[in-house]
Chain A
Amino acid sequence: MSIFGFFTRTRTAPVARERLQLLLAHERALSGKSDLAAILQEEILAVIAKHIAIDREKVKVKLDRDGTISTLEIDIEMPEAVALKN
């Protein structure tokens, strides 16, 4: 334990504060967009783009509610030869 260990170990509240500020900035930005489908579209796109080179226009996300069931439809058109990034 470092000489400052005694002080830093117990003062955990500043860490909590910093983590909250970061997290809430992110979460507020998301909830600010009222369109859930748009958020999902962006996030799904980001995940897929990490692994496959895709055309932004070829990804469609549809959120539907019909009576008692809600459906999430994701339609992704893959490139001819799936080009894996590396």
Chain B
Amino acid sequence: MSKVLVVTSGKGGVGKTTSSAALGAALAQAGKNVVVVDFDVGLRNLDLIMGAERRVVFDLVNVVQGDAKLAQALIRDKRVETLSLLPASQTRDKDALTPEGVERVIDELREKFDWIVCDSPAGIERGATLAMRHADMAVVVTNPEVSSVRDSDRIIGLLDSKTARAEAGETIEKHLLLTRYDATRAARGEMLKVEDVLEILAIPLLGIIPDSEDVLKASNVGCPVTLHNPLSGPARAYAEAARRLLGETIAVTMPVEKKSLMSRWFGRSVA
């Protein structure tokens, strides 16, 4: 049975698109048929992060409005055979999506794919609520920072009340993905710790993605970080998170502190 997964956060710029691409690619590499759907209408970026920006012909809005067939809008990834992208429109605004149209497209995607990963826009408005509307499960992307944690709490509330599953009295699985985590700063007490965020948000932990330059490097060349540099910290963490989504029970790897203060001073004095 297919799974609809929404990647959401409330707050902008916390790593939803990065995570959608990385998790989508990792799930596809595990042999699943995956489509990543960009719901950020008007501000599409998933195409760029996936390196498919020059192959976009039709988009989600065209399909929702019946101007194009789903098959015409889907873009097959060139690296992983089982990975596809359904891009967002760049020219229209978010009101171009209708609840009925989105439901029809999701139903059609369910027939073709094992995993439908929906990259939500920021905010709690129409675009974000439509992206989560038909989700079976949610990845709540959170940075260890006060405003991000607060917004995640809001989003968790919406997931529990505004989704089709919630309205039908069913539960929606929610997973916390802590991104841009800096273990060194957390150890110094400058940044919220994993335990702090977990205790406050009270949903199970899917993974901890370290703050790393590898993410920017991968985005520069338009490749999900899990494919670009599989041995990098964020790639390993995303791959691990994907395995957990597939039902494996594996312990979460804690990012390690980069360098102690002493070794940094030492390193500097030698340089």
Contacts and interface: CB of A to CB of B under 8 A. Distances in A.
B193 interface: yes
B53 interface: no
Nearest to A34: B161
Contacts, number: 41
Interface residues of B, number: 17
Contacts of A12: 189-190
Given A16-B146, A19-B146, A24 B189 contact: no
B150 interface: yes
A85 interface: no
Given A19-B146, A20-B200, A21-B200, A13 B186 contact: yes
B196 A17 contact: yes
Contact of A13 (B157, B161, B192, B200): B192
B208 to A, nearest CB: 16
Interface string B188-210: 11111100100010000000000
A27 B153 contact: yes
B193 A23 contact: no
Given A19-B146, A20-B146, A24-B200, A13 B193 contact: yes
A14 B192 CA distance: 7
A71 interface: no
Of A10, A16, A21, A27, which is in contact with the most chain B CB atoms at under 10 Å from its CB?
A16
Interface residues of A, number: 16
A2 interface: no
Given A10-B189, A14-B189, A20 B157 contact: no
Interface of A: 10-14, 16-17, 19-21, 23-24, 27-28, 31, 34
5 contacts: A10-B190, A16-B145, A16-B196, A20-B149, A21-B200
Interface of B: 145-146, 149-150, 153-154, 157, 161, 186, 188-193, 196, 200
Given A16-B146, A17-B196, A20-B146, 6 more contacts: A10-B188, A11-B189, A16-B192, A21-B200, A27-B154, A31-B157
